[in-house]
Amino acid sequence: MATGPLRFRTPHIEELPTAQSRQSAGFAWVPVSGAQDDPAKNWGTTNRKRQRQSTGGQTDQQKEAVSARQQREVERRIKDLNSDNSKETVEIPKKPGQQPSGGAFKIGKTSGTKKIMSSGKSLQHHLEDEQAEIDRTGRREGEVDAPAPNAQRASKTPLHRRKPREDSSASNSPAPAVSSMPPPAIPREVVQLDDSDGDEESQLPGLPSAAEMEALLNAPPLTYAQARASSPPPGLPPPRRFCETCGYWGRARCLKCGAMTCSVVCKDEHDQSKCLKMYA
């Protein structure tokens, strides 16, 4: 096989004069560099899996691209799951027997309400507007006590990668327990506890004092994005995959499109109708 690592090459051989010099072939197997380093010998496979391995492994950039593609695919699917099935806009019918001041009835009585009712913004717009407002002024509207806008630049780290700040008890940042799920018995020095009341013989940590409860209650509400539960700690097992045809555990991945199937029967079904090669 010409693509093997060994080649014919005649090294320099000196036949030493010995008493018994056997007849040997005039060649020897010599290891040379493999096809990986010799691009001329790589004829290119259409098989993407072999391609990935034969061309010296993927560069980091290529790996990023593959995972970004998968990420986008996953996000698209999640967005689909959240869709409202409202492709056709449903018109609001006019009530029969409209009263004489019909216009005001439908559109709004005051100028403020007219503007509200005719606004076509979706929730996404509102959330983005609010985020822009916070970034601009450093505080939410209506919050009396706000951090100085220039004190700290709005962090650009995505929320799930932020480290919890030890001094945050009632501030705006969410402080999810990034340090996985230790049993709550391990004390966290977030709030100074008042041990004098509530200390029973079973060694429960004391309830916070009234002042601390007030501080907790008066904490400003989080923004929509901050209240979202952040991703679990990275040490967990990888997400489970299911068969695309029947829903059982996914055991084999389709080489062309990456979908999982569980058995040969399901894989045949997938190849015939659902595989990406039908579309792509």
Partner 1 sequence: MAKPKNVPASTLSTGDLASRTLILDNGAHTIKAGYSSHLDNHAPNHQDCTIIPNCIARSTRDKRTYIGPELTTCLDYGELAYRRPVEKGYVVNWEGEKAIWERSFSSEEGGLGCEPAETNLILTEQPNAPVTLQRWTDEMVFEEFGFGAYYRTIGASLNAWAPSPFPSTADSVSGLPVECLLVVDAGYSHTTITPLYHGRPLHSAIRRLDVGGKVLTNRLKDCISRTFDVHREDHIVSEIKEDVCYVSPSPSAFAADLERTWKGGRYDARELDTTVVVDYVLPDYEHIKRGYHRPHDAKIKGGRVLRVDEETGRREHVVTVGNERFTVPELLFTPSDIGMSQPGLCGVILQSIHSLPEGLRQVFLANIIVVGGSGLLPGFVERLDAELRGAVDEDLVVRVARAEDPLKNSWLGGARMAQDEGNLRQRLVTRAEWMEHGEGWVRRRFAGKIGR
From the CB of 190, what's the least distance to partner 1, in Å? 6
User: How far does CA 229 lie from the centroid of its chain?
Assistant: 13
Evaluate whether 229 touches 241 at the Cβ level (below 8 Å). no
Number of residues that bind partner 1 (CB under 8 A): 95
Distance from C-alpha of 225 to C-alpha of 128, rounded to nearest angstrom:
10
Q: Does 126 bind partner 1 (CB under 8 A)?
A: yes
Binders of partner 1 among residues 215 to 254 (CB under 8 A) are 216-224, 226-232, 239-240, 242, 245-249
The residue (of 44 and 232) whose beta carbon lies closer to partner 1 is: 232
Q: Does 118 bind partner 1 (CB under 8 A)?
A: yes
From the CB of 100, what's the least distance to partner 1, in Å? 8
Q: Does 263 bind partner 1 (CB under 8 A)?
A: yes
The residue (of 74 and 278) whose beta carbon lies closer to partner 1 is: 74
| Of 65, 170, 255, 278, the one binding partner 1 by CB under 8 A | 170
Binding track, positions 53-92, relative to partner 1; x by CB under 8 A: ---------------------x--xx-xxxxxxxxxxxxx
Q: Does 136 bind partner 1 (CB under 8 A)?
A: no
The residue (of 27 and 248) whose beta carbon lies closer to partner 1 is: 248
Evaluate whether 3 touches 35 at the Cβ level (below 8 Å). yes
Name the pairing type of β-strands 252-253 and 260-261: antiparallel
Q: Does 211 bind partner 1 (CB under 8 A)?
A: no
* Sign, Cα dihedral of 41, 44, 49, 52: positive
Binders of partner 1 among residues 177 to 206 (CB under 8 A) are 177, 181, 183-185, 187-188, 190-191, 193, 198, 202, 204-206
Element (H, E) at 272: none
- Report which of 57, 42, 49, 30 is spatially closest to residue 3, judged by C-alpha positions: 42
Binders of partner 1 among residues 15 to 54 (CB under 8 A) are none
| Of 6, 30, 127, 132, the one binding partner 1 by CB under 8 A | 127
The residue (of 41 and 109) whose beta carbon lies closer to partner 1 is: 109
Q: Amino acid letter at 66?
A: V
Distance from C-alpha of 108 to C-alpha of 117, rounded to nearest angstrom:
7
Q: Residues 6 or more apart from 274 whose CB is under 8 A from it?
A: 244, 245, 259
The residue (of 20 and 110) whose beta carbon lies closer to partner 1 is: 110
Distance from C-alpha of 91 to C-alpha of 85, rounded to nearest angstrom:
15
Coil, helix or strand at residue 29: strand
Distance from C-alpha of 126 to C-alpha of 159, rounded to nearest angstrom:
19
The residue (of 50 and 165) whose beta carbon lies closer to partner 1 is: 165
247 forms bridges with which residues in the sheet?
none
Distance from C-alpha of 179 to C-alpha of 35, rounded to nearest angstrom:
46
Q: Which one of 10-18, 21-29, 31-39, 262-270 is the stretch in contact with partner 1 (CB under 8 A)?
A: 262-270
| Of 130, 146, 253, 254, the one binding partner 1 by CB under 8 A | 130
Q: Does 157 bind partner 1 (CB under 8 A)?
A: no
